[in-house]
Amino acid sequence: MPLFCFTLEDDIAVWTTSELECSDENIACEVAVQLLSKLFVQMRRDGPDWSNCRIRVAEAAGQEIMVTSAAQVALEERDRFRAHALVRTDQ
């Protein structure tokens, strides 16, 4: 499986980085969203200003797959989670 690099960064620092094997680019982007969501949940109040951070996904060889606002990704994931939570499962 291909190796992908995940980085959370702002203009000053790289906050976290990791490498994972994923079956394809789409799965790598989904993993990035999930990792970011977990980071937001675990974030301390004195943590970085996430509104200035971005998430970067790249192939191990360096080809960028996704670069986007971390805050925007977190909001989209929150909305997706809320929409799923509102779906009734007892019918």
Calpha distance 51→89 (Å, rounded): 34
Tens of pLDDT, residues 63-74: 999 998 888 887
**Domain segments of the chain as ranges:** 3-85
Q: Kindly tell me if the per-residue pLDDT of 89 is higher than 70.
A: no
Tens of pLDDT, residues 39-71: 777 776 766 667 788 889 999 888 999 998 888
Mean pLDDT computed over every residue of the chain: 82
Identify whether the C-beta of residue 59 lies closer than 8 Å to the C-beta of residue 65. Answer: yes
Calpha distance 41→69 (Å, rounded): 17
Calpha distance 29→25 (Å, rounded): 6
